């Protein structure tokens, strides 16, 4: 029987195929290492972003608390009108004062007088007139400058 097995060759896998498989395995392992490193970087970046987000949320919470406390203090200092006797008066100031302002006063029998001022946009007709005057003056000045230059 030995002679039968010695005379016949066993079917084997050629060595170049083993080398090719070994190269593919090394490439796959290198890719795994690269993906693990990228995953680690992304995990650290994610943690940093979560910390920043937590800091923003904490700051927002503190700001919100401060705003609520300020609103409570203002409400306690200047309570809103509660009776019909309290009135609101709106006074328009002259238009030659820039920016135009509206003064609002709350008159109440028991509350102190408070004056709030806020800017109001110019009337559209005044704005249109102002733009027209600027354009006319600009073109007029340009016309006279060019005409004076031609006379020389």
Domain-ending residue, one of 26, 52, 74: 74
Among candidate residues 55, 74, 93, the one where a domain is terminated: 74
pLDDT of residue 101: 45
Does 101 share its domain with 67?
A: no
For the chain, how many structural domains are there in total?
Answer: 2
Query: Of the candidates 24, 50, 74, which is a domain's last residue?
Result: 74
Q: What is the pLDDT of residue 88?
A: 52
Q: Which of 113, 108, 102, 106 is nearest to 88 (CA)?
A: 106
Residue 130 tokens read as 């102002």
79 occurs within a structural domain? no
* Mean pLDDT (whole number) for 138-143: 87
Q: Is 10 a domain residue?
A: no
Instruction: Flag whether 24 is in a domain.
Output: yes
Same domain as 69, residue 106? no
Residue 21: domain span: 15-74
Q: Would 38 be classed as within a structural domain?
A: yes
pTM value is 0.39
Note whether residue 106 is domain-resident.
yes
Q: Are 103 and 116 in contact (CB under 8 A)?
A: yes
pLDDT over threshold 50, residue 148 = yes
Q: pLDDT band at 79, cuts 50/70/90?
A: confident
- So what's the pLDDT on residue 77? 77
pLDDT band, very low/low/confident/very high, at 33 (cuts 50, 70, 90): very high
pLDDT tens-place string over residues 48-60: 999 999 999 999 9
**Alpha-carbon distance values, 1 to 7, 8, 12 (Å):** 10, 11, 21
Pairing of strands 114-119, 101-107: antiparallel
**In this predicted model, which residue has the larger pLDDT, 19 or 112?**
19
Q: Are residues 23 and 47 in the same domain?
A: yes
User: How many helices and strands, by DSSP H and E, does the chain display?
Assistant: 3, 3
| Confidence tier at 128 by pLDDT (50, 70, 90) | confident
Q: What pLDDT score does 98 carry?
A: 46
């Amino acid at each position: 029987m030995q002679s039968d097995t010695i005379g016949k060759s066993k079917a084997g896998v050629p060595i170049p195929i083993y080398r090719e498989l070994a190269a593919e395995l090394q490439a796959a392992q290198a890719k795994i290492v690269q993906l693990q490193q990228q995953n680690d970087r992304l995990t650290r970046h994610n943690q940093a972003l979560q910390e920043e987000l937590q800091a923003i949320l904490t700051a927002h919470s503190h700001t919100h608390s401060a705003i609520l406390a300020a609103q409570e203090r203002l409400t306690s200092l200047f309570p809103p009108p509660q009776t019909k006797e309290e009135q609101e008066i709106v006074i328009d100031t002259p238009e030659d004062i820039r920016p135009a302002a509206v003064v609002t006063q709350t008159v109440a029998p028991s509350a102190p007088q408070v004056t709030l001022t806020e800017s109001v946009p110019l009337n559209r007709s005044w704005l249109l007139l102002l733009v027209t005057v600027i354009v006319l003056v600009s073109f007029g000045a340009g016309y006279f400058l060019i005409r004076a230059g031609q006379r020389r």
